[in-house]
Amino acid sequence: MPQGIELGGIDYVILVIYFLFVLGIGWALRRQTKTSEDFFLSGRSIPAWIAGLAFLSANLGAQEMIGMAASGAKYGIATSHFYWVGAIPAMVFVGVFMMPFYYGSRARSVPEYLKLRFDEKTRGFNAISFAIMTVFSSGISMYALAKLLHLLLGWDFNVSLWVSAAIVLAYIYLGGLTSAIYNEVLQFFLIVLGFAPLVFLGLENVGGWSGLVAKLEGVATAGGYAPGAWSHSWATMGSPAANPMGVEWFGMVMGLGFVLSFGYWCTDFLVVQRAMAANSMAAARRTPLIAAVPKMLFPFLIIVPGMIAIALTHAGAGFSLPKMADGSWDYTMVIPQMLAHYFPPGVLGLGLTALMASFMSGMAGNVTAFNTVWTYDIYQSYIKKDATDAHLLWVGRMTTVFGILASVGTAYLATQFNNIMDFLQLVFAFVNAPLFATFLLGMFWKRATGHGAFLGLVLGTLAAAAHHGLTLPAGAPVGIKGGWLAAPPMHAYSSEMAQNFWTAIWAWSVCFAATIAISLVTRRTKTDDDLRGLVYALTPRPKEEHLPWWKTPEGMGAMVLALAVLLNVIFW
């Protein structure tokens, strides 16, 4: 059992002030939300730095904070691959190369881009799977928050769930996407400033960076790895057996760095929506580039605490992670346990508020993406085609209410049927894995057709399922982890992560090849004129030639990439 946290009066005061500010921002914005575009896209009025921080914060949900800290303890600094390989290049790519089409086409959502570029069925497939997925992610996020509050503070699960849902509902209902984005910026600063003292105190406790590295050698050798396995990100990537992740560099770079990362950062409407809300093409292109800079530094805020936690736990030096029922360390408790251990009342309230902020920003990101896709891509496209704008605005608000209620329902479902959640997440992973192939071909090859895109996506999804069914991670039982199509499985991976990366690689490759093959044998239904602004070769480059090179998106992207390479080299 984790150590409980006793909150003092000052901690409650901080928490309440935060809630008041969050609601106050929604209240202040209520009058500016007059049209559906105000509600769903902030009237395309957001400056680049705000959109950039929101772009980052929307992704900074529960999975990110808790999961990446846990991975820091489990795998060490190699977890940074999820940032320096698995995020930064894709963020630069979406800003420099893809944003001209997303923003320039005036599409109001990612599925709508697919409709403009390909056809109705491709849009429908993407819109419906995305809408269901966001409701479930938001529900799982709420479930995790309420469970954590119950565990740490003894708060009632139901009250925690409904109160956090009501707050998110209130501020999105009032101010739409602008309200969500503004709160995401507030949450971003809160998360950084709330967790930073944890890193300082933890590092001091462990004896600085050198003390941390020395103690991690003990962790590594006890696990049967080379001494540097926890403090080097690449040195042990030569073979899956040499590192605790159980992956080799090729699967990691291609599966995580290319397929999964580009699939998420470049096509997931949850993040892309923030850039679409920017006030100009120039701002939209800079949104992911601005986000990339803090993203690059997050490993120090999120992964390092995990490394400190496992180092101290292993050394028996005061701090210890709690154990689970089966006797293994409960890695998901890294952040809550460190908050309880190091923070006295006062900063404790700040840290806890930051934790709640991260849950709420993840939840709000899902809800705003859901209400937009539902209203524009499902309601307006299939249910009521001639809806007036005022009607759409009303539908958007109702959808927000419905989406939050559905998320709460999902959260309760998660308390009863954890297996269903695992199963659904697996299905979503199959649907998402091939997506980037469709976008890449759609944006850079004008010959790609609607039939090609749709069937490519379907086949890619099936390929992901088939690969999962034919393989199994070492030591896992047949079933939700794989192996359900062939006994014995055709291939055994050394870890679940390796299997995931390779599932993505297969799905992407099948979708890519199938889209090309089917496009070549089907007729184009869109003329060059139809595709202007949607495909690279038919779109004039956005010019910003009055700027010095380092202020252009290309120059900024190059600098961001250079910094990411530098970090990889330093922590090699």
Phi, psi of 95 (to 5 degrees): -70, -45
CB 310 within 8 A of CB 205: no
CA distance 146 to 121: 38
Q: Which is nearer to another protein, 31 or 546 (CB)?
A: 31
Phi, psi of 493 (to 5 degrees): -90, 155
Q: Which is nearer to another protein, 14 or 48 (CB)?
A: 14
Structure token pair of residue 147: 């469970």
Phi, psi of 49 (to 5 degrees): -65, -35
CA distance 117 to 131: 20
Q: What is the DSSP letter of 74?
A: H
Q: Which is nearer to another protein, 196 or 513 (CB)?
A: 196
Contact between 62 and another protein (CB under 8 A)?
Answer: no
Contact between 45 and another protein (CB under 8 A)?
Answer: yes
Residues 6+ apart with CB under 8 A from 284: 48, 51, 99, 102, 103, 275, 276, 278
At 394, which amino acid appears? W
Contact between 18 and another protein (CB under 8 A)?
Answer: yes
Q: How many angstroms from the chain centroid is the CA of residue 353?
A: 21
Q: How many angstroms from the chain centroid is the CA of residue 336?
A: 21
Helix axes 496-521, 435-444, angle to 10 degrees: 40
Contact between 25 and another protein (CB under 8 A)?
Answer: yes
CB 441 within 8 A of CB 433: no
x/- map, 339-368, another protein, by CB under 8 A: --xxxxxxx--x------------------
Contact between 180 and another protein (CB under 8 A)?
Answer: no
Q: Which is nearer to another protein, 10 or 214 (CB)?
A: 10
Of the candidates 12, 21, 423, 572, which one interacts with another protein according to CB under 8 A? Answer: 21
Q: Which is nearer to another protein, 184 or 496 (CB)?
A: 184
Q: Which is nearer to another protein, 341 or 397 (CB)?
A: 341
The piece of 44-52, 85-93, 241-249, 488-496 that touches another protein (CB under 8 A) is 44-52
Q: Which is nearer to another protein, 316 or 344 (CB)?
A: 344
Q: Which is nearer to another protein, 14 or 107 (CB)?
A: 14
The piece of 25-33, 104-112, 234-242, 558-566 that touches another protein (CB under 8 A) is 25-33
Contact between 455 and another protein (CB under 8 A)?
Answer: no
Structure token pair of residue 514: 């199938």
Nearest by Cα to 101 from 398, 467, 537, 461: 537
CA distance 317 to 203: 13
The piece of 96-104, 185-193, 442-450, 515-523 that touches another protein (CB under 8 A) is 185-193
- Within 90-119, which residues bind another protein (CB under 8 A)? none
The piece of 14-22, 89-97, 320-328, 369-377 that touches another protein (CB under 8 A) is 14-22
Contact between 193 and another protein (CB under 8 A)?
Answer: yes
- Within 272-301, which residues bind another protein (CB under 8 A)? none
The piece of 43-51, 364-372, 447-455, 476-484 that touches another protein (CB under 8 A) is 43-51
Contact between 178 and another protein (CB under 8 A)?
Answer: yes
The piece of 89-97, 198-206, 463-471, 477-485 that touches another protein (CB under 8 A) is 198-206
Buried b / exposed e over 342-381, threshold 16 CB at 10 Å, is bbeeebbbbbbbbbbbbbbbbbbbbbbbbbbbbbbbbbbb
Nearest by Cα to 450 from 531, 384, 508, 509: 531
Of the candidates 78, 186, 498, 511, which one interacts with another protein according to CB under 8 A? Answer: 186
CB of 124 to another protein, least distance (A): 34
Contact between 14 and another protein (CB under 8 A)?
Answer: yes
Residue 296: is it exposed, middle or buried by C-beta count within 10 angstroms (0-12/13-18/19+)?
buried
Q: Report the DSSP beta bridge partners of residue 491.
A: 471
Of the candidates 104, 197, 218, 555, which one interacts with another protein according to CB under 8 A? Answer: 197
Contact between 509 and another protein (CB under 8 A)?
Answer: no
Number of residues that bind another protein (CB under 8 A): 33
Of the candidates 50, 90, 247, 463, which one interacts with another protein according to CB under 8 A? Answer: 50
- Within 118-137, which residues bind another protein (CB under 8 A)? none
Contact between 205 and another protein (CB under 8 A)?
Answer: yes
Q: Is residue 482 helix, strand or coil?
A: strand
CB of 312 to another protein, least distance (A): 12
CB of 189 to another protein, least distance (A): 6
Q: Which is nearer to another protein, 20 or 537 (CB)?
A: 20
Buried b / exposed e over 483-494, threshold 16 CB at 10 Å, is beeeeebeebbb
Question: Which helix (H) or strand (E) is 493 found in, with range?
Answer: strand 491-493
Q: Which is nearer to another protein, 51 or 220 (CB)?
A: 51
Of the candidates 1, 6, 12, 13, which one interacts with another protein according to CB under 8 A? Answer: 13
Query: Residue 498: which region, alpha, beta or left (left: phi > 0; alpha: psi -120 to 50)?
Result: alpha
Q: Which is nearer to another protein, 196 or 413 (CB)?
A: 196
Give CA separation, 360 vs 18, 60, 177, 293, 367, in Å: 12, 9, 14, 23, 10
Q: Which is nearer to another protein, 22 or 110 (CB)?
A: 22
Q: Is residue 321 helix, strand or coil?
A: coil
CB 161 within 8 A of CB 146: yes
Q: Which is nearer to another protein, 213 or 350 (CB)?
A: 350
CA distance 367 to 175: 13
Give the footprint of another protein on this chain (CB under 8 A). 10, 13-14, 17-18, 21, 24-25, 28-29, 31-32, 45-46, 50, 178, 182, 185-186, 189, 193, 197, 201, 204-205, 341-347, 350
